[in-house]
Amino acid sequence: MTMSDSTTGPRSALPQRRGMDLLHDPRLNKGTAFTRAERDLLGLRGLLPPRVFSEAAQVERNIESLRRKSSDLERFVALAGLVERNQTLFYKLLLDHLTELMPIVYTPTVGEACERYGYIFQRSRGLFVSAEDRGQIKAVLQSWPVQDIRVIVVTDGSRVLGLGDLGAHGMGIPVGKLTLYTVCAGVHPNQCLPITLDVGCGNAAMRDDPLYIGLQRPRISAQEYEDFLHEFITAVREVFPRVLLQFEDFSNHVAFTLLERYRDELCCFNDDIQGTAAVAVAGIFSALRITGKPLAEQRLLFLGAGEAGLGIAELMTMALVNEGVSEADARRQCWFWDSKGLVTAERTDLNPHKRRFAHAHGPLRDLYGAVMALRPTGLIGVSGQPQTITRPIVEAMSSFNQYPVLFALSNPTSKAECTAEQAYTWSQGRAIFASGSPFPTFRYEGRDFVPGQGNNAYIFPGVGLGVVAVGARRVPDEMFAIAARTLAAEVSQRDLDQGSLYPPLARIREVSVRIAVAIAEHAFELGLASVPRPEDLEAFIRAQVYVPTYPTYA
């Protein structure tokens, strides 16, 4: 560790708080990095150990402490404690060790954290708006101490990752997503607000746990829920008029309904539908650079027909249409497999979203048989059902594809349709693989494969930064097509040579800025921006990126 009596950065206005009150404010606290002069000025002498440490030394202390923990959940809890003590240090630590800590602050560890949220809960980091707040939701939102909120991530906990209904324990998701907004794209943490809508829990074992933190009741009725959501959306628009609202981990039906109802009235999007779509389509674009085949020749089979799969297929359809394929033909290149078998035109149990991709074909209830019948170029796992991409299926895909595209996108790791090792081994090293949760480097016959993680963090933070920077009033689907193209363009030949369809996480801030610039440009083209167009758009956006550096007070 290094010791320093000085800090970098411009002189800042003196904080109104002093002494212990200052040390208890995570937005202002520098801990042992307060210089001797600052300690005298701010009434801190004696309240801290006498040695002054640089921010870099504090980062080193904390990363070493984390590495000594016995489990990732313990690391998650330690990081949650750090952000409540020292916000700047928390984000500096994540930025300096992003590849190592991303799986801790988000997938896969966040899944376990949500399941055990009642046991690890320390302090609320967002708002819980419950069914008991009906008629008072606006007042609840106004109780948040910061009014200039630019990004809200909201969940009702009904479909957390692939884990199902976790109710109020789903709060770990919006907290984690907003952490990524700041770390990956530089959206200021003070302008981010995580919200959980607690309308009951359909998981009896979860809600009956004595340490469950939410309402211990079943979910409210459909009509009550609809009225509750409308009151919430109306209140958000009134209290935070400049906000981008991101819907996260709602059940399938509610997710599509929310998006369709409010997308033209509110600056909003659904990350499970649109963010997942963009990162998956970006992976497909990258894969084509390996296969050498054009997009128009791709046939995709989706294992799972929920928000993620349907979102990917819709964006894939848009990409194909942009290349001159008719919409009808584009949809015929996307096939779905759900819990009842192949989605076909003859089925009468399909919702409108599935019906758009229901094609004429005889019934099939065996996935291997569907693979052999359809001969897809890519198999996209978005089912939440682990180990469903089996060895016979991978071998079949490899028999008619030189480079079979295999995406196991379900989160957390325990829900992945197959592992990286399985995909590479069963395909004899020819699979083009991506996953939703991280897998380690795998060595096969002398070659190191670095599996790419199709993490939505490559998409939503950059989209959000672009939207917030120019005050975009809406988030049309075209923005996610642009984000996918921009992300794919950031993948180097070196990345592809090691089997990775995405750039390294270490570059994610730069990638996010590139996406933000492209999104902002599109907002200006469509007349959606609410600020004048700057002469240098990229410089304008970069100037808004939050950098976790301590202020200097003396």
Residue 6: pLDDT band (50, 70, 90) is: very low
What pLDDT, on the 0 to 100 scale, is given for residue 494? 97
Mean pLDDT computed over every residue of the chain: 95
State whether residue 166 is helix, strand or coil: coil
Q: Is it the case that residue 1 has pLDDT exceeding 90?
A: no
Segment 224-257, tens digit of pLDDT = 999 999 999 999 999 999 999 999 999 988 999 9
Determine which one of 30, 177, 354, 415 is catalytic. Answer: 177
Which class for 207: exposed (0-12), middle (13-18), buried (19 or more C-beta within 10 A)?
buried
Overall average pLDDT of the 457-465 stretch: 98
What residues form DSSP beta bridges with 515?
none
What pLDDT, on the 0 to 100 scale, is given for residue 365? 85
What pLDDT, on the 0 to 100 scale, is given for residue 13? 82
Overall average pLDDT of the 113-121 stretch: 96
Enter the tokens of residue 55.
Answer: 């921010």
Decide: 81 and 125 in contact? Cβ < 8 Å: no
Decide: 202 and 168 in contact? Cβ < 8 Å: no
- Proportion of the chain in helix, strand, coil states, percent, rounded to 5: 50, 10, 40
Separation of alpha carbons 283 and 496, rounded Å: 11
What pLDDT, on the 0 to 100 scale, is given for residue 10? 56
Residue 5: pLDDT band (50, 70, 90) is: very low
State whether residue 46 is helix, strand or coil: coil
* C-alpha count within 13 angstroms, C-beta hemisphere, residue 431: 32
What pLDDT, on the 0 to 100 scale, is given for residue 16? 86
Determine which one of 106, 117, 262, 502 is catalytic. Answer: 106
Overall average pLDDT of the 491-502 stretch: 97
Separation of alpha carbons 528 and 249, rounded Å: 27
Residue 235 makes CB contacts below 8 A (sequence gap 6+) with 137, 138, 140, 141
What pLDDT, on the 0 to 100 scale, is given for residue 396? 98
What pLDDT, on the 0 to 100 scale, is given for residue 2? 39
Enter the tokens of residue 258.
Answer: 């929310």
Active site residue 177: yes
Q: Is it the case that residue 24 has pLDDT exceeding 60?
A: yes
Overall average pLDDT of the 445-471 stretch: 96
H or E element at residue 41: helix 36-41
What pLDDT, on the 0 to 100 scale, is given for residue 4? 39
What pLDDT, on the 0 to 100 scale, is given for residue 106? 92
Separation of alpha carbons 38 and 36, rounded Å: 5
Strands 432-435 and 300-303: unpaired
Overall average pLDDT of the 466-471 stretch: 98
What pLDDT, on the 0 to 100 scale, is given for residue 30? 97
Q: Is it the case that residue 63 has pLDDT exceeding 50?
A: yes
* C-alpha count within 13 angstroms, C-beta hemisphere, residue 109: 19
Segment 308-364, tens digit of pLDDT = 999 999 999 999 999 999 999 999 999 999 999 999 999 999 999 999 999 999 999
Enter the tokens of residue 365.
Answer: 């209830």
Q: Is it the case that residue 491 has pLDDT exceeding 80?
A: yes
Separation of alpha carbons 19 and 177, rounded Å: 33
Q: Mind spelling out the 3-state secondary structure of 78-92?
A: HHHHHHHHCHHHHHH
Segment 208-226, tens digit of pLDDT = 999 999 999 999 999 999 9
Using CA of residue 220, residue 224, residue 227, residue 228, what is the dihedral sign? Answer: negative
Structural domains of the chain sorted by starting position, each given as residue range(s) with its CATH number in brackets: 19-96 (1.20.1370.30), 122-266 (3.40.50.10380), 274-454 (3.40.50.720), 458-542 (3.40.50.10380)
